[in-house]
Structure 1
Amino acid sequence: MLEDSQVIPDEAAALDDDITDDTFVEVAVEVFAMLADATRVRLVLALDSGELSVNALAERVGKSPTAVSQHLAKLRMARMVSTRQNGNRVFYRLVDTHVSKLVQDAIHQAEHTVGAPIRHHHGEG
């Protein structure tokens, strides 16, 4: 029987390939850096429910529309959000569910870290 730390040689080679792919590691670091801002995390959480305008997002995260636009521009450059224009209004949405899942996992980890009640273990979050 294998212990948790033991890996079958063929699996080890595959894991090494995955772990040492510098491109993915470097891009992952950039993703974490992009999300290392409370406003951007709040924007991702707000957009998890669907597309919203800049003004609606500003209201939800408690920041000015100008500040929110600057954060959204960074998220857009990182290909985490996309836009749709309707007249003079711009609506933002998440490109896919990956960033949302990452933020939710970070929130769940934060619950463990601060010793808060662990809501996600009870299907509540």
Structure 2
Amino acid sequence: MDVLAGLDACTTMEPDEGRVAAARDRLVTPEEATQLADLFRLLGDPTRAQLLYALLEAGELCVCDLTETVEVSDTAVSHALRLLRTAGIVASRRAGRMIYYRLADVHVRMLLDLSREHLRHG
């Protein structure tokens, strides 16, 4: 038997039907799984992650503030913000000719806070 394969293998080939049923009852739907994967893929870009944490810390910033903060081009910032806004992760408001961006809601803040805490924990 392959030693490495044995590390993740069951010692018995009989699943615990009660646990399987309970897990299936709480399992995300295939549609939800796709949406979650898309969300994590969107958050998985280092530039977008830095932009989100800049907004988390500052509350609200315009493109030029974000460009300076994360040290990437205004084109890259604008593109990233467009993706994040379309996904409902950031929101914007217009003040004259300026557009200011902020995290869309408390859930995004919680996700970012928990993610950072997880990194610090490990």
Q: Shorter-chain TM-score: what band?
A: 0.7 to 0.9
Partners in 2 of 1:86 and 1:58 — Cα distance?
A: 19
Partners in 2 of 1:20 and 1:75 — Cα distance?
A: 23
1:57 paired with 2:96, answer: no
1:66 paired with 2:78, answer: no
Structure 2 unaligned spans of 5+: 1-17
Q: What RMSD in Å do the two structures reach over aligned CA positions?
A: 2.3
Percent identity of equivalent pairs: 37
Secondary structure of the 1:79 match is coil
Which among 8, 26, 29 is matched to residue 34 of structure 2? 26
Q: Which has the larger radius of gyration?
A: 2
Secondary structure of the 1:105 match is helix
Secondary structure of the 2:76 match is helix
TM-score (norm 1): 0.72
Structure 1 unaligned spans of 5+: 1-8, 114-125
Change (3 A) 1:14 1:23: farther
Offset, 1:46: 1.1
Which among 77, 80, 89 is matched to residue 80 of structure 1? 89
Comparing 47-56 and 69-78, the one that deviates more: 47-56
Say how many residue pairs are matched. 105
Offset, 1:14: 6.3
Which among 31, 41, 46 is matched to residue 49 of structure 2? 41
Change (3 A) 1:13 1:37: same
